[in-house]
Structure 1
């Protein structure tokens, strides 16, 4: 998975995380919360990819890259949406 795959994964995880988050209505206007969720997912997936390659956990195209990037992106979305809903 190259960087275009990370972008597609981040967009999908950000939208799904925003849509399925239980505190979505408490997070404020839909436009800002959706953008925050997508940016958080993109940042999480990119950070996981960079960290995995830097530590040697995986390389481009390995099977372990997908679940690690997906899990970290979901965690970033959940944390960002929860912090936004607490305001």
Structure 2
């Protein structure tokens, strides 16, 4: 659990830095969204029996889930100005 959240923090931060539209997501939002996306993808994949604990695909799902959630938030969030 802790490892998944740490991966989410790191990937959320990286996704914020690499977003094509610039830094459109605040730092706290990127960290929280990264953790939420990683946890949802990791535990969702386990619930669907796509992988078991210790498999590399679980970590890949956490990375993809975190980056997708931060990217979608930045793309769908209304911009001011």
Q: Tell me which protein shows more helix as a share of its residues.
A: 1
The list of structure 1 runs, each at least 4 consecutive aligned residues, that deviate by more than 4 angstroms after superposition, is: none
Distance 1:22 1:85, change over 3 A: farther
> Which structure 1 segments of 5+ residues have no match?
none
Equivalences, count: 80
Matched, 1:75 2:68: yes
Please report the TM-score for the alignment, with normalisation by the length of structure 2: 0.85
- Aligned residues: CA RMSD: 1.7
Alpha-carbon deviations, 1:18-77, whole Å to 9, x = none?
A: 11113234x3xxxx7111111111111101111111111111111111111111111001
